[in-house]
């Protein structure tokens, strides 16, 4: 089994994370998947942004939950990264789904509800995916165990992943009990025993955020199901060399 290459926040080494230019670059590099982070605006629109506040990745200030989609649209989400991307906007989840629909990409939508547990985020995102007929190529993931549990009724239609950076000897059974069918782990947690436990439990295992060549290779050696990387073009080159 070949490890899938999933562009982390898009091809985020080369373009501002979670924006259309980063997703376009990921697609052009032939990544198999795109990872993105979703939060809810004041008017309940799911938008793609990693932090709870806009400060780091835009020219604005404030929490996503306190701003309307229209207000977020006025912000510049590109110039913090480079002048070349000035005027790049925050996009809604719908815009990404519309764009993905006719492309051979799988999706990992990370629900950013571990710090602010947005009400109904799970069902809002699920219904959007259903409308766009994208359920069968999407995994929803979250660091929030309560949210994984709330998602468990969907785990026949869709990938549900428990995200973690914490060591836990019972991680696989814990994730399974919550209702997840995959675990997404920080690279330092990766070891053969964990991968074997996942295989036995029929759980997919994917690893974030893997940018160093030696680390990428280790994920291939362990036959992880996927890696999240900021440099999908390079990871694909490494993978070609790995199987030659
Ligand atoms: O979904 C994998 C990874 O994105 C989780 O961490 O902080 O980059 O969203 P973070
Ligand atoms: Mg993420």
Residue 50 among the catalytic residues: yes
Nearest alpha carbon, ligand 1 atom 7: 50
Q: What is the pLDDT of residues 36-54, one digit of tens each?
A: 999 999 999 999 999 999 9
- Mean of the pLDDT values across residues 162-183? 97
- pLDDT at 1 exceeding the cut of 90: no
Residue nearest to atom 1 of ligand 1 (CA): 110
- Per-residue pLDDT at 193: 97
Which residue out of 50, 149, 174, 215 is catalytically annotated?
Answer: 50
Counting from 1 in the atom list of ligand 1, the atom nearest the Cα of 9 is 4
- What pLDDT score was predicted for residue 244? 85
Q: What is the reported pLDDT for 40?
A: 98
Helix (H, G, I), strand (E, B) or coil at 192: helix
Length of the chain: 244
Bridge partners, 186 (sequence order)? 208
Tell me what the mean pLDDT of segment 200-220 comes to. 98
Going by the DSSP 8-state scheme, the letter that residue 12 receives in this structure is T
For the entire predicted model, the pTM comes to 0.98
What's the average model confidence in pLDDT over 169-194? 97
Tell me, what's the pLDDT at 155? 81
Please work out whether the CB of residue 230 comes within 6 Å of at least one atom of ligand 1.
no
Q: Which atom of ligand 1 is nearest to the CA of 141?
A: 1
Task: Report which protein residue has its CA nearest ligand 1's atom 4.
Answer: 8
* 17: pLDDT strictly greater than 90: yes
Q: Which CATH number fits domain 4-34+107-242: 1.25.40.390, 3.20.20.190, 3.40.470.10, 3.40.50.2300?
A: 3.20.20.190
244: annotated active-site residue: no
Domain ranges of the chain: 4-34+107-242
Question: Do residues 44 and 94 make contact, with C-beta atoms less than 8 angstroms apart?
Answer: no
């Amino acid at each position: 089994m070949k490890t899938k290459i999933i562009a982390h926040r898009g091809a985020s080494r080369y373009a501002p994370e979670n924006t259309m230019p980063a997703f376009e670059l990921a697609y052009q590099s032939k990544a198999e998947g795109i990872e993105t982070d979703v939060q809810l605006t004041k008017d309940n629109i799911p938008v793609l942004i990693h932090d709870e506040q806009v400060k780091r990745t835009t020219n604005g200030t404030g929490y996503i939950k306190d701003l309307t989609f229209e207000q977020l649209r006025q912000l510049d989400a590109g110039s913090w990264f480079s002048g070349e991307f000035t005027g790049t906007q925050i996009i809604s989840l719908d815009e990404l789904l519309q764009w993905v629909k006719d492309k051979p990409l799988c999706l990992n939508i990370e629900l950013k509800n571990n710090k602010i547990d947005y009400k109904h985020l799970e069902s809002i995102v699920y219904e959007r995916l259903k409308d766009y007929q994208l359920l069968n190529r999407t995994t929803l993931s979250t660091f929030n165990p309560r949210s994984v549990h709330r998602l468990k009724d969907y785990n026949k239609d869709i990938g549900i992943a428990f995200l973690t950076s914490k060591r836990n000897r019972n991680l696989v059974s814990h994730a399974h009990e919550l209702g997840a069918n995959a675990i997404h782990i920080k690279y330092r947690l990766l070891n053969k025993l964990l991968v074997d436990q996942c295989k036995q439990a029929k759980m997919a295992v994917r690893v974030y955020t893997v940018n160093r060549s030696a680390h990428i290779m280790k994920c291939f050696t362990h036959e992880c199901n996927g890696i999240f990387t900021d440099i999908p073009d390079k990871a694909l080159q490494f993978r070609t060399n790995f199987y030659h």
